[in-house]
Structure 1
Amino acid sequence: MNNYYTLIYLNREIKEKIGGCFFRFAISPHKDVLHIYVGAQDSTLRLIFSTNSRETALFLDGYRPPKKRNVIDFFPFLEGQKITDTELANNDRLLSIHFESGKKLLFKLFSGRPNVFVVENNTIVDAFKNPEKHKGTTPPQPMAPDFQDEVSPRRSPKNQMTEVNPLLPRNLLPSLIEQHGVGEMSPKKVKAFTLEASRALEQDPHPRVLKTGDFCLWSREWLDIPSEKECTEVNDCVSFAYKNAVHLRRLHNKKEDVAEFLARNKKQKKSMVGQLKQADKSLGRADEYEKYGHLLMAHAHESISPAEDTISVEDFYEDNEEIEIPLNDRGTIAEEAEYYYEKAKDARTAYEKAKERLPKEKKKLKNIEGLQSQLASIDRLPDLNSWLKEHKSSLRELGYGSSEDKQVSSPYRKFKVGKYEVWIGKNAKSNDKLTSLAHKEDIWLHARGVGGSHVVIRMGNYKDYPPKNVILQAAGYAAFYSKAKGMKSAPVMYTKRKYVRKPKGAAPGAVVVEREEVEMVPPINPKEY
């Protein structure tokens, strides 16, 4: 989202709007997001920085009152300091905001670990992410990219273009190459085309967000992909693209949760309908059991040996052919007959109940399929929320409820991280219950060195670890529900549940961890994520 060419224009726009303003305060209302409030006497703006590797973005937004609870404050020593300049590193995605005290905020917008550092005298004195790791170290330095004069003839068109200009937006190059037939060009023409495309980015920007969700500076003549939004300022399009990406992520996660629930229910209902359709077999068994009862009653005056498992009698329903009837150790033949009469009665009852239940289960299956069809067509989060509210009773009948609903009767808190369910203990006894119920392959987490809740990531039948972002988010929950809640970041250990044991006679909530890994994470309130 913040390609180098994007940052050229963004830096100019930010400098124009916040130059001479004062740093008011900075908070992190959500994981991986920093809001920096800056302003003059009569106005305040927010500089929003997302360090999510999939949604890295920096842009200015309008004022919005900060949350008063469960937020983390950052860089209090900058409060009241005047902004004197903003600066973009030459040919690199490092943007600085300078203050009159000589300190600066250095935004690193590349690699898988974006971050913002407070720098003084060329030394990092604080950081948004992992401050303890970075304090006292040298800040990131601009890395001059390698611009090639010659194009390698055997490389792909995309690699040829990035040899000429490594700063080009790589996510858009495949479409650019296809539209202009770059694959058919000679190396010399590829170089000339690349230089021309670079000049268009530098001198003739057309900020827009494509229907694909990508931010773009090329005009439709250069890249003929329809626009979702066109802007006069780069900042506005970056803001739109970021918010749209966040919206789509939240929509996907919430929609996937409901879709998986409906898919499970559909599978169960289809299986149930299939079984109920086989109800005729119960009627057939009823006839067979009743026949056994009649045949046995015809021999009720006879005795049987306790050691016998079957009895052989003449089947007067089948021309007196010999038939073997299993015995069930009921005592007398009459009692064996009574057993089969009861079996026949139960089988007929099951048949009648199945006949009565089948249309109801078919209706439920049809309802689930209808819900699946409606869900598939929803592409906006507000529409999904409205749909969930509209169908709340239908979904609840199927067993779907909110985390809050489930927590009323649950001995521990339950939340979702993507498709993974996360359990969080409420107290020492709840911690014991949670950990004892967890499967050996589940992931167990706890804030290191302080009291707090046990946290478990449910893994189902999977033996692998979940994606790292899931572990980090659950670790943030563990930090929040611990005595490290007030820290900017806290160490959280995690391991497989099978490596956690409770010593005999140990106090409630006390465990021994045989092996562990540790991550430094900011506390996250799951109710606000």
Structure 2
Amino acid sequence: MNNFYTLIYLNREIKEKICGGFFRFAISPHKDVLHIYVEKNGETSRLIFSANSRETVLFHDFYRPPKKRNVIDFFSMLEDKEITEMQLADKDRLVTIHFENGDHLQFKLFSGHPNVFVIRDNEIIDAFKNPEEVKGQAPLEPHAPEFKEEVSPRRNAKNQMTEINPLLPRNLLPYIIEEHEVDEMEPENVKTFTNELTEALIEDPHPRVLKTGDFCLWSKQWLNISSEKECDTVNDCVAFAYKNAVHLRRLHNKKEDVLEFLERSKAQKESLVQQLQQADKSLVRSEKYEKYGHLLMAHAHEEINEGTTELTVEDFYEDNEAITIPLKEEKDIAGNAEYYYEKAKDAKKSYQNARQRLPKVKQELEQVNQLLEQIENIDRLYDLEDWIKQHKKVLKEFGFGGDEEKQAKSPFRKYKEGKFEIWIGKNAKSNDQLTSHAHKEDIWLHARGVGGSHVVIRMGNRKDYPPKQVILKAASYAAYFSKARGMKSAPVMYTKRKYVRKPKGAAPGAVVVEREQVQMVPPMKPEQ
């Protein structure tokens, strides 16, 4: 989101808002998000930085009271220090805020690991993410990319354009190339076109957020995609694009949870309807078993040898044709007749129950289909939250969600990672409960070679493994809730629950594990 050309304008606009102001405090209200509160001329505002590699961004925002609970404070050494300057590195996405005492805040807005560093005497003394790994290192130096004078004729249009200017916003180039048919241009024309495109970014910016959700500085003359929002400042559009992206991500995650649950409920109810519709088979079995009982009772006075497993008699229901009836070895003929009468009774009862249940299950299936149709059309988070509240009762009846009080009293810690639930044991007894409660296809994890919590990734009806990032996250939790917590990196083993067994008489929490894999991860405390 913070392309280099975007940062040129952001740096100018933010500098005007914060220079001469004072750093008051910094907190992290959400994972990978840093809010820096700045006071200037009696008014407080915020700098918002996202270290999420998919939503890396820096922008200025209005004041909002900080959360008072479950937040972490950062950079106390900068509190009440005056901001004297803000600079963007030459042709690199490094932004530096200078303070009166000579300290700096350096924002790294690129790569898969964005971060913020506190610099003192040309040395990193603190960081937003993983401070222990970078303390004592030198600050980052800007590295300008190579700008070529000529393009390689054999390369595709996108590569040719980024040879001329590697700082172009690459997420928008496919649209530009298609609209202007750049892939049909001669190399010399690609060079001319790219230079004109770059000049438009510098001399004629039109900050807007496209319907695609992308931030853009080009006017419709250059990129004819409809705008979701047009702004007077780059900062306002970047803020809108970021908040919109976060909104969509939260909407997607929450919607996916409900959709997955409803799809699973639909499959279960469709299967149940199919089973119940075959209830006539139970009635056929009932009639067969009852006939066996009657035929056997007609011969109840006869003696049979011990261990006899079948008896052939005349079937007076079918013109006295011979019929062979399986017998229970330990019962006489009368006892076997009673056995078949009971089976006939159970089969008939099963048939009657199925006929009674079928209308209700069909109604529930129709209800699930209606809910699926409704939620598919929801595209705003607050609408989704209202919808969930409105349908809370029926969703709960189907098994979605849980009582908050029961969650609090749960013997396990429970966290969400996308569509997956991660359960963590609290002690040895809890570990035993967790492992015995887990489904055989759930993923079981434990820090290797040290004491710690059992961890389970709940798999629902899925029989495969979850995405690697889910395993890594659960493994980092297993490392955190173990005696390896203080290590920089710890080995964590994982396998299917069906390959974990508890030996008879073993101590609480002790298990035998087979077919395990091992992953090295840094211990990480789960986010609430």
When normalised by structure 2's length, the TM-score is 0.90
- The DSSP-based 3-state class of the residue aligned with 2:12 is helix
Map 1:266-415 onto structure 2 (within 5 A).
266-329=266-329, 331-402=331-402, 404=404, 406-407=406-407, 410-415=410-415
- Measured against aligned partners, the alpha-carbon deviations of 1:56-84 in whole angstroms (never above 9, x if no partner) come to 01001111111222211111111111111
- Measured against aligned partners, the alpha-carbon deviations of 1:143-194 in whole angstroms (never above 9, x if no partner) come to 1111111111111111111111100000000111111111111111111111
- The DSSP-based 3-state class of the residue aligned with 2:522 is strand
1:115 matched to which residue of 2? 115
Instruction: Measure the CA separation in 2 of the matches of 1:307 and 1:510.
Output: 45
Counterpart of 2:295 in structure 1: which amino acid?
L
> Does structure 2 conserve the Cα–Cα contact (< 8 Å) formed by 1:417 and 1:474?
no
Shift of 1:300: 2.2
1:93 matched to which residue of 2? 93
Counterpart of 1:467 in structure 2: which amino acid?
K
Instruction: Measure the CA separation in 2 of the matches of 1:334 and 1:268.
Output: 42
- Measured against aligned partners, the alpha-carbon deviations of 1:283-321 in whole angstroms (never above 9, x if no partner) come to 111221122122222222211112211111111222221
**CA 1:313–1:434 in 2, change beyond 3 Å: closer, same or farther?**
closer
Instruction: Measure the CA separation in 2 of the matches of 1:39 and 1:469.
Output: 40
- The DSSP-based 3-state class of the residue aligned with 2:307 is coil
Structure scoring higher RCO (CA < 8 A, sep ≥ 6) equals: 1
Instruction: Measure the CA separation in 2 of the matches of 1:389 and 1:73.
Output: 34
2:105 matched to which residue of 1? 105
**CA 1:504–1:133 in 2, change beyond 3 Å: closer, same or farther?**
farther
Shift of 1:446: 6.7
Alignment RMSD:
3.1
**CA 1:63–1:502 in 2, change beyond 3 Å: closer, same or farther?**
farther
1:4 matched to which residue of 2? 4
Instruction: Measure the CA separation in 1 of the matches of 2:262 and 2:406.
Output: 17
Counterpart of 2:38 in structure 1: which amino acid?
V
Counterpart of 1:62 in structure 2: which amino acid?
F
- The DSSP-based 3-state class of the residue aligned with 2:229 is strand
- The DSSP-based 3-state class of the residue aligned with 2:303 is coil
Instruction: Measure the CA separation in 2 of the matches of 1:225 and 1:194.
Output: 19
2:148 matched to which residue of 1? 148
Instruction: Measure the CA separation in 2 of the matches of 1:422 and 1:453.
Output: 12
Matched, 1:468 2:465: no
- The DSSP-based 3-state class of the residue aligned with 1:220 is coil
2:132 matched to which residue of 1? 132
- The DSSP-based 3-state class of the residue aligned with 2:35 is strand
- Measured against aligned partners, the alpha-carbon deviations of 1:63-107 in whole angstroms (never above 9, x if no partner) come to 111122221111111111111111001111001101111111111
Counterpart of 2:226 in structure 1: which amino acid?
P
1:17 matched to which residue of 2? 17
After superposing the two structures, state which structure 1 stretch, 344-353 or 18-27, moved more. Answer: 344-353
Counterpart of 1:496 in structure 2: which amino acid?
M
- Measured against aligned partners, the alpha-carbon deviations of 1:122-148 in whole angstroms (never above 9, x if no partner) come to 221211111111111122111111111
1:496 matched to which residue of 2? 493
Q: How many residues align?
A: 520
1:231 matched to which residue of 2? 231
Instruction: Measure the CA separation in 2 of the matches of 1:318 and 1:511.
Output: 59
**CA 1:457–1:337 in 2, change beyond 3 Å: closer, same or farther?**
closer
Counterpart of 1:414 in structure 2: which amino acid?
K
Instruction: Measure the CA separation in 2 of the matches of 1:201 and 1:324.
Output: 90
1:63 matched to which residue of 2? 63
Instruction: Measure the CA separation in 1 of the matches of 2:109 and 2:354.
Output: 63
- The DSSP-based 3-state class of the residue aligned with 1:96 is strand
Shift of 1:458: 3.7
Shift of 1:413: 2.5
The structure 1 residue matched to 2:522, chosen from 512, 519, 529, is: 519
**CA 1:203–1:366 in 2, change beyond 3 Å: closer, same or farther?**
same
Q: Could you list the runs of 5+ residues in structure 2 that have no partner in the other structure?
A: none
Counterpart of 1:9 in structure 2: which amino acid?
Y
Instruction: Measure the CA separation in 2 of the matches of 1:505 and 1:311.
Output: 47
1:442 matched to which residue of 2? 443
- Measured against aligned partners, the alpha-carbon deviations of 1:223-254 in whole angstroms (never above 9, x if no partner) come to 11111111111111111111111111111111
When normalised by structure 1's length, the TM-score is 0.90
Q: Could you list the runs of 5+ residues in structure 1 that have no partner in the other structure?
A: none
**CA 1:245–1:470 in 2, change beyond 3 Å: closer, same or farther?**
farther
Shift of 1:281: 0.9
Shift of 1:467: 3.3
Instruction: Measure the CA separation in 2 of the matches of 1:325 and 1:367.
Output: 46
Counterpart of 2:259 in structure 1: which amino acid?
A
**CA 1:316–1:459 in 2, change beyond 3 Å: closer, same or farther?**
closer
Shift of 1:422: 1.1
Shift of 1:347: 1.7
Instruction: Measure the CA separation in 2 of the matches of 1:501 and 1:219.
Output: 64
Q: Sequence identity of aligned pairs in percent?
A: 63
After superposing the two structures, state which structure 1 stretch, 459-468 or 345-354, moved more. Answer: 459-468
Map 1:140-219 onto structure 2 (within 5 A).
140-219=140-219
Instruction: Measure the CA separation in 1 of the matches of 2:512 and 2:271.
Output: 43
> Does structure 1 conserve the Cα–Cα contact (< 8 Å) formed by 2:425 and 2:434?
yes
Counterpart of 2:469 in structure 1: which amino acid?
K
Instruction: Measure the CA separation in 2 of the matches of 1:511 and 1:290.
Output: 49
- The DSSP-based 3-state class of the residue aligned with 1:269 is helix
- Measured against aligned partners, the alpha-carbon deviations of 1:192-246 in whole angstroms (never above 9, x if no partner) come to 1111111111111111111111111111111111111111111111111111111
**CA 1:469–1:205 in 2, change beyond 3 Å: closer, same or farther?**
farther
Instruction: Measure the CA separation in 2 of the matches of 1:80 and 1:483.
Output: 39
Instruction: Measure the CA separation in 2 of the matches of 1:23 and 1:124.
Output: 18
Instruction: Measure the CA separation in 2 of the matches of 1:433 and 1:236.
Output: 51
After superposing the two structures, state which structure 1 stretch, 112-121 or 489-498, moved more. Answer: 489-498
> Does structure 1 conserve the Cα–Cα contact (< 8 Å) formed by 2:455 and 2:474?
no
